[in-house]
Copies of this chain bind each other. A is one copy, B any other.
Amino acid sequence: MNIKKASELTGVKPENIRYYERVGLIPPVIRNENGVRNFSDIDIGWIKFSKHMRDAGVGTEALIDYISLFQKGDASNIQSRKEILQGQLDELEERIETMVHARDYLKLKVENYEDIMVPLEKKLQDGNCTVFEEKKEELEWPKR
């Protein structure tokens, strides 16, 4: 299939599929006699994998290392490949924790916005805008 089809199947723009291949985020795609890429289902799988990982915030470097090791097609680096994935998994867990923490904080803040702000409207109208900041401190950061 051509790059347009591959793009439709994966949600990655043709320009970015070429970019992915160029930098090594996917293995090289087989070309026809005119140098036109002919994507296989396996290529589509690789594009989906890289897009999925990128969407989740996994950096290109780790992904490129992984694809690169993979392409050596050598059983001796299975452990290295697994370690790369494990490392990214650990980083992902950490980022998720940070985000969940921020989410909980924002949630608490939004849910209590009216309760805190409405009683303060009068004071704010007097130009005393520091009051909220003092009040805000009552909204403690969610504990670990």
Contact = CB atoms under 8 A, between A and B. Distances in A.
B92 A106 contact: yes
A129 B129 CA distance: 65
A61 to B, nearest CB: 16
Interface residues of A, number: 53
A129 B69 CA distance: 12
A92 B71 CA distance: 35
Interface string A96-140: 101111110111011001100110110011010110111011000
A86 interface: yes
7 contacts: A52-B102, A52-B105, A58-B102, A85-B109, A92-B102, A93-B103, A96-B100
